[in-house]
Amino acid sequence: MELLLVILIGVLYASGLYMMLRRSMVKLLIGLILIGNGANLLIFLLGDLSKGKPPVIDVALTAFQNAYADPVPQSLILTAIVISFGLQSFAVVLLKRVYMITDTDDLDQLNSDDQDI
Amino acid sequence: MTDHYLISPILTHLFSVILLLFCWKKVRLQKVISISSNAVIMMIAVFLWMKVWNQGILSMQGGDWQAPYGITFVADTFSATMILLTAVAGFAVATFSAAGISKQRIQHGYFPIMHLLLMGLNGAFFAGDIFNLYVWFEVIIIASFVLMTLGGKKPQMEGAINYVTMNLLASVIFLTAIALLYGLTGTLNMADLSLKVALVQNRSMVNVTALLFFVGFGIKSAVFPLYFWLPSSYNTPPSAIAALFGGLLTKVGIYALIRMFTLIFPPDEFLHYLFLFVAIATLLTGAAGALIKRDFRKMLSYLIICHIGYMVAGLGLFTKSGMNGALFYLFQDIVVKTNLFLIAGVIFKMMGTMNMDRLGGLAKSHPRLSALMAIAFFTLIGIPPMSGFWPKISLIRESFTTDSYLLLAALIIASFLTMYVMMKMWTDIFWKAQTQEIPQGKNSFDELRPHHRQLLIIPIAFLCLLSLALAFGAEQVAQVSNRITTELMEPQGYIDAILKPNSKP
């Protein structure tokens, strides 16, 4: 399971970066989404995968200390997902506005402002 | 010491945002609320600073969950000073915006978003938990995205694409670094991390994590190979917004760098040389970039990059007086960069252009204003006794004593080039005879109502006065940065203040 996740995360990061380096704005957006999901999965993986264990145990149950799942990564991912959702939806709207104003989705055409060198 | 007073700047900003949202269409009321709440926050920040100065490091645990489990807010002298400067810059920009930002932008929520941005900055300076720092960074960038695109002119949108993409990428890298750090240590509290990272056996992994943090914060603070988004985006929004960005946003990256690399990853040999290399390259490329530009705000953007180099240099030297210089530079740079962008706004109002070839003759038409602006220009160059001079001298002396001669050369060349660029600006904008007439209706400054004109001038005068105070009170400022350096270089006090909040220091 770990190995599978490691490969998946690697693929997500690599394809995300590759997409971000393309000239099309839509591909840039897809790249951002992919790389963001890669980061979320990475947090999930590094919190130690464990199956069927309770996340919260009573303070007195010292004997079970090794038998509970770490709840922190999941709360981190939850926060990160919400944040990236907000940012990505902003990016979608921004790209649409830019497309409407400039009439192109080619990132290389977006330099009307560089009058000097 | 546990003290709940320390989140009051954040809460006051949040409260102002809510209040401002209720007067969505009432432009005049929004201006009044924003300026007065910023004034209140400035007083709170002064009071907080005095408190930290007298009582030592203050901390607060979210929901009273004791560290390292809860979310921690910390105010040491560094945080408190940054909060104070943020409040000062926020006040100046809010006052300037009251006359400098158009009615349409205000009706689309300029002031609430500005307060959210300032709230995010305050939160980032207080964060004692690395994931919390990430969350505050996201608050900052989402607010800055909206400010960047508000109004939606074509160049603004094009600049925004660069800005948004690079910042999103930086947050992903930051998040990746947090994930790795959590996997290595199992904690997120910065004080706890400081203890646990030192114990990790797998040093190569620690170094990779440190480098990821460096890249993430490096993009935000615009250091050498990662700065290209800055000059192509900071010149597009209105000057009040650019002032907030130029004065504070890159500095929060530097703050995070200094915090991370003193508390959690004290630089080893490799990081030490990396920082020095990055500092040298940032100084030279930033200054060289400013040389060839002919747009006033683009030149300022490149000068921001150049001067980030001074702060990274201080971090790279990692000696007491080097750090001292970097901190002093950071403090005075916030004031002067905010001021220069505000000045750019006034000049734009007067002449209707930012192009140096078409500017000119200001010294003749507005002599008193020019004299005021001269203070900001000279401060940036660092002519003694202005405040840019003192940190530079300690950085130069320190690079001399540690035999970093390349850095020494870069520092001097960058200072020289800054002087050359500022001289060129001065002669072009103020002394050169004006080559062409200002098109009819472009000179909106003189047509403004007098109290609006004062709203534009007062923040500039205020920041100039502050620059002068920093220059002539250099002794006191040096004491402050000295104390911060001691706190940063010996993090035990910081760690104890968080992990054992109730024991007497």
Distance (Å, whole) CA B335 – CA B356 = 24
**Closest listed residue to residue B391, CA positions, set B505, B457, B480:** B480
Mean pLDDT of B484-495: 89
Q: Each residue of A68-82: pLDDT tens digit? A: 777 888 888 999 999
3-state secondary structure of B225: helix
A30 part of a folded domain = yes
Cβ atoms of B280 and B222 closer than 8 Å: no
As for how many domains chain A has, the answer is: 1
What's the DSSP call for residue A103?
S
If residue B259 lies in a helix (H) or strand (E), which one and from where to where?
helix B250-259
Angle between helices B250-259 and B320-351 (to 10 degrees): 170
* pLDDT at A49 > cutoff 90: no
Query: A75 and A83 in contact (C-beta within 8 Å)?
Result: no
Q: Provide the pLDDT for residue B438.
A: 63
pLDDT tens per residue, range B162-214: 889 899 999 999 999 999 999 898 888 998 999 898 888 888 899 999 999 99
Q: How far is CA B152 from CA A90, B51, B212, B267, in A?
A: 14, 43, 33, 43
Read off the pLDDT band of A64 (50, 70, 90): low
Mutate which of B140, B161, B174 to test chain A, going by most A C-beta atoms within 10 A?
Answer: B161
Amino acid present at B440: Q
| A contacts of B152 (beta carbons < 8 Å) | 97, 101
Q: Shortest CA distance to B91 belongs to which of B372, B348, B371, B461? A: B461
Q: Identify the CATH number of the domain in which residue A84 sits.
A: 1.10.287.3510
Please give the Cα distance from B403 to A46 (Å, whole number): 42
Kindly list the residues from chain A whose CB atom is less than 8 angstroms away from the CB atom of residue B141. 87
- Domain extent for A85: 2-52+67-107
pLDDT of A111 reads 66
Work out the minimum CA distance from A96 to partner chain B, whole angstroms.
11
- On whether the CB atoms of residues B130 and B181 are closer than 8 A, the answer is yes
The mean pLDDT value for A34-49 works out to: 88
Per DSSP, the three-state class of B115 is: helix
Residues of A with CB under 8 A from a CB of B: 20, 25, 28, 32, 35-36, 38-40, 42-43, 45-47, 70, 72-73, 76, 79-80, 83, 86-87, 90-91, 94-95, 97-98, 101-102, 107, 110-117
Q: Nearest CA of chain A to the CA of B177: how many Å?
A: 9
| Residue B305: partners with Cβ closer than 8 Å, 6 or more residues away | B222, B223, B227, B230, B231, B282, B285, B286, B289
Alpha-carbon distance B430 to nearest alpha carbon in chain A (angstroms): 21
pLDDT of residue B101: 85
Minimal CA separation from A111 to chain B, in Å? 7
Q: What is the mean pLDDT of chain A?
A: 84
Per-residue confidence (pLDDT) for residue B347, from 0 to 100? 87
Residues of A in contact with B292 (CB under 8 A): 117
**Distance in Å from the first CA to the final CA of chain A:** 53
Distance CA A10, CA A3 (A): 11
Condensed to tens digits (0 to 9), the pLDDT of residues B119-164 reads: 999 999 999 899 999 999 999 999 999 998 887 778 888 888 888 9
The answer to the question of residue A84 being in a domain is yes
Q: Is the pLDDT of residue A113 over 60?
A: no
Chain-chain contact of B236 with A76 (C-beta, under 8 angstroms): no
Query: Is A60 part of a structural domain of the chain?
Result: no
Q: What is the pLDDT of residue B443?
A: 62
Distance between CA atoms of B95 and B89, rounded to whole angstroms? 10
Phi then psi for residue B405, to 5 deg, are: -70, -30
pLDDT of residue A116: 45
The mean pLDDT value for B480-504 works out to: 84
* pLDDT in the model for residue B464: 93
Q: Give the pLDDT confidence score for residue B452 in this predicted structure.
A: 83
CB contact under 8 A, A110 and B138: no
Expressed in angstroms, the distance from the first to the final Cα of chain B is 8
Per the structure block, which two tokens stand in for B139?
A: 């608050």
pLDDT of residue A112: 60
Q: Tell me if A100 is assigned to some domain.
A: yes
pLDDT at position B503: 60
Cis peptide before B385 (omega within 30 of 0): yes
> For A47-60, what is the mean pLDDT?
74
**Mean of pLDDT values over B382-402:** 87
For position B153, what pLDDT does the model report? 78
Q: Chain B closest CA to A105's CA: distance in Å? A: 11
Residue B107's pLDDT is what? 87
Per-residue pLDDT tens for B431-483?
887 766 666 555 667 777 888 888 889 999 999 999 999 989 888 999 999 99
- Partner-chain contact B145 A94, CB within 8 Å: yes
For A112, B61, B211, B236, the CA distances from A80, given in Å and listed in that order, are: 35, 22, 21, 30
User: What percent of chain A shows pLDDT beyond 70?
Assistant: 88
- Which of A103-112, B61-70, B490-499 has the least mean pLDDT? A103-112
Distance CA B81, CA B51 (A): 11
Q: Are strands B72-75 and B58-61 parallel, antiparallel or unpaired?
A: antiparallel
Given an 8 Å threshold on Cβ–Cβ distance, is A114 in contact with B154? no
C-alpha torsion sign, points B63, B66, B70, B76: positive
pLDDT of A69 reads: 76
Whole-Å CA distances, B186 to A117, B69, B73, B87, B494: 50, 11, 19, 35, 20
Q: In the predicted model, what is the mean pLDDT of chain B?
A: 88
ipTM confidence: 0.91
Question: Predicted confidence band at B77 (pLDDT cuts at 50, 70, 90)?
Answer: very high
Q: How confident is the model at residue A117 (pLDDT cuts 50, 70, 90)?
A: very low
- Enumerate long-range contacts of B110-113, CB under 8 Å, 24 or more apart: B110/B147, B110/B150, B111/B20, B111/B30, B111/B31, B111/B33, B111/B34, B112/B17, B112/B20, B112/B21, B113/B143, B113/B146, B113/B147, B113/B150
